[in-house]
Amino acid sequence: MTLLEEMTRVVLATPSPTATPAQIAAWYTSKADLLDRIAREEGTRSPEAHDMATTARAHARQLQAALR
């Protein structure tokens, strides 16, 4: 999958206001994966993308913890 295709997939999968915490956590995980890929491939914006990925993963973990 190209980067553009992955970006489109993540954007189109943005959870709705009625999404469950599990669905939102899964989306944050997908977003973090995308940001990690951007960090690997983009070079100059690597630190910024990596920081955003770290934040997205933290949000996913918080939502998953709330489900337990």
Reported pTM: 0.85
Q: What pLDDT shows up at residue 7?
A: 95
Q: Are 66 and 21 in contact (CB under 8 A)?
A: yes
57 Cβ contact list (under 8 Å, min separation 6):
28, 29, 32
62 Cβ contact list (under 8 Å, min separation 6):
none
**Cβ-based neighbour number of residue 4 at 10 Å:** 8
Regions of the chain with pLDDT less than 50: none
Q: What pLDDT shows up at residue 45?
A: 66
